[in-house]
Structure 1
Amino acid sequence: MEEEGGGLCFPQTKKRIPLCIFFKNASFGANRQVFKMDELGFEIAQIAFPAALALTADPIASLVDTAFIGQIGPVELAAVGVSIALFNQVSRIAIFPLVSVTTSFVAEEDAVAEESSKPQEIESLESGSNDNGEAKKLITQSVLEESGLKSRTNSLSIESLKPQRRHIPSASSALVIGAILGLLQAVFLISLAKPLLNYMGVKPDSPMLPPAIKYLMLRSLGAPAVLLSLAMQGVFRGFKDTKTPLYATVAGDATNIILDPIFMFVFRLGVSGAAIAHVISQYLISAILFWRLIQLVDLLPPSVKDLQFGRFLKNGFLLLMRVVAVTFCVTLAASMAARLGPTPMAAFQVCLQVWLATSLLADGLAVAGQLGFVLGVILSVMLGFGLKFAAKLFTKDISVLHLISIGIPFVAFTQPINALAFVFDGVNFGASDFAYSAFSMVMVAAVSILCLLLLSSHHGFIGIWIALTIYMSLRAFAGFWRIGTGTGPWSFLRS
Structure 2
Amino acid sequence: MAQKDDGHPCGISIFFKDARLALKMDDLGVEIAKIALPAALALTADPIASLVDTAFIGQIGAIELAAVGVSIAVFNQVSRIAIFPLVSITTSFVAEEDAVSDSSHENLEMHEQTEDKKLLQHTNTKPESLDSESLVTSNQKKRIPSASSALIIGSVLGFLQAAFLIAGAKPVLGFMGIKSDSPMLQPAQQYLKLRSLGAPAVLLSLAMQGVFRGFKDTKTPLYATVAGDVTNIILDPIFMFVFGLGVSGAAIAHVMSQYLISIILFWRLIEKIELVPPTSKHLQFGRFLKNGFLLLMRVMAVTFCVTLAASMAARQGSTTMAAFQVCLQVWLATSLLADGLAVAGQAILASAFAKMDYEKVTATASRVLQLGLVLGVALAVFLGVGLQFGAKLFTKDVGVLHLISIGIPFVAATQPINALAFVFDGVNFGASDFAYAAYSMVLVAVISILLLFIASSHGFVGLWIALTVYMSLRAFAGFWRIGTRTGPWCFLKVTS
TM-score normalised per structure 1: 0.87
| Cα distance per residue 1:306-354 (max 9 Å; x no partner) | 3322221012121111111112111111111111111111111100010
Aligned to 1:171: 147
| Cα distance per residue 1:61-110 (max 9 Å; x no partner) | 11111111111111111111111111112111121111111122222333
Aligned to 1:80: 68
Q: How far did residue 130 of structure 1 move?
A: 8.0
Question: Residue 403 of structure 2 aligns to which amino acid in structure 1?
Answer: L
Give me the whole-angstrom Cα distance separating, in 2, the residues matched to 1:120 and 1:478: 42
Bigger shift: residues 297-306 or 287-296: 297-306
Q: How far did residue 159 of structure 1 move?
A: 9.8
Aligned to 1:396: 396
Aligned to 2:480: 481
Question: Residue 465 of structure 1 aligns to which amino acid in structure 2?
Answer: W
Aligned to 2:335: 359
Aligned to 1:90: 78
**Cα gap change, 1:263 to 1:377, in 2 (>3 Å):** same
**Residue 6 of structure 1 contacts residue 25 of structure 1 at CA under 8 Å; is this kept in 2?**
no
Give me the whole-angstrom Cα distance separating, in 2, the residues matched to 1:353 and 1:191: 26
Aligned to 2:210: 234
Give me the whole-angstrom Cα distance separating, in 1, the residues matched to 2:410 and 2:79: 26
Percent identity over the alignment is: 75
**Residue 92 of structure 2 contacts residue 214 of structure 2 at CA under 8 Å; is this kept in 1?**
yes
Aligned to 1:45: 33
* Secondary structure, aligned partner of 1:368: helix
**Cα gap change, 1:333 to 1:21, in 2 (>3 Å):** same
Aligned to 2:382: 382
Bigger shift: residues 79-88 or 360-369: 360-369
**Cα gap change, 1:167 to 1:430, in 2 (>3 Å):** closer
Bigger shift: residues 52-61 or 173-182: 52-61
**Cα gap change, 1:137 to 1:204, in 2 (>3 Å):** farther
Give me the whole-angstrom Cα distance separating, in 1, the residues matched to 2:308 and 2:160: 23
Aligned to 2:468: 469
**Cα gap change, 1:311 to 1:410, in 2 (>3 Å):** same
Bigger shift: residues 177-186 or 314-323: 314-323
**Cα gap change, 1:225 to 1:215, in 2 (>3 Å):** same
* Secondary structure, aligned partner of 2:24: coil
Q: How far did residue 165 of structure 1 move?
A: 2.0
Aligned to 1:115: 103
Give me the whole-angstrom Cα distance separating, in 1, the residues matched to 2:180 and 2:250: 23
Q: How far did residue 374 of structure 1 move?
A: 2.1
Mark the structure with the bigger radius of gyration.
1
Aligned to 1:150: none
Q: How far did residue 22 of structure 1 move?
A: 2.4
| Cα distance per residue 1:234-274 (max 9 Å; x no partner) | 11112121111111011111111111111111111111011
Aligned length: 461
Q: How far did residue 157 of structure 1 move?
A: 10
| Cα distance per residue 1:127-149 (max 9 Å; x no partner) | 33889xxxx8983386xxxxxxx
| Cα distance per residue 1:379-408 (max 9 Å; x no partner) | 111111110210100001111111111111
Aligned to 1:412: 412
Aligned to 1:23: 16
1:151-300 correspondence runs (5 A): 163-300=139-276
* Secondary structure, aligned partner of 1:259: helix
**Cα gap change, 1:159 to 1:391, in 2 (>3 Å):** same
| Cα distance per residue 1:444-472 (max 9 Å; x no partner) | 1011111111211x111111111101111
1:383-462 correspondence runs (5 A): 383-456=383-456, 458-462=457-461
Q: How far did residue 492 of structure 1 move?
A: 4.5
Q: How far did residue 217 of structure 1 move?
A: 0.3
* Secondary structure, aligned partner of 1:300: coil
Aligned to 1:310: 286
**Residue 6 of structure 1 contacts residue 24 of structure 1 at CA under 8 Å; is this kept in 2?**
no
- 2:323 corresponds to 1:330: no
**Cα gap change, 1:117 to 1:16, in 2 (>3 Å):** closer
* Secondary structure, aligned partner of 1:295: coil
Unmatched 5+ stretches in structure 1: 8-14, 27-31, 143-155
Question: Residue 61 of structure 2 aligns to which amino acid in structure 1?
Answer: G
Greater relative contact order: 1 or 2 (C-alpha under 8 angstroms, separation 6 or more)? 2
Question: Residue 129 of structure 2 aligns to which amino acid in structure 1?
Answer: T
TM-score normalised per structure 2: 0.87
Give me the whole-angstrom Cα distance separating, in 1, the residues matched to 2:99 and 2:489: 26
Question: Residue 18 of structure 1 aligns to which amino acid in structure 2?
Answer: G
Aligned to 2:128: 139
Bigger shift: residues 57-66 or 106-115: 106-115
Bigger shift: residues 46-55 or 113-122: 113-122
Question: Residue 385 of structure 1 aligns to which amino acid in structure 2?
Answer: V
Bigger shift: residues 436-445 or 475-484: 475-484
What is the RMSD of the two structures over their aligned residues, measured on CA atoms? 2.5
Unmatched 5+ stretches in structure 2: 343-366
* Secondary structure, aligned partner of 1:296: coil
**Cα gap change, 1:6 to 1:169, in 2 (>3 Å):** closer
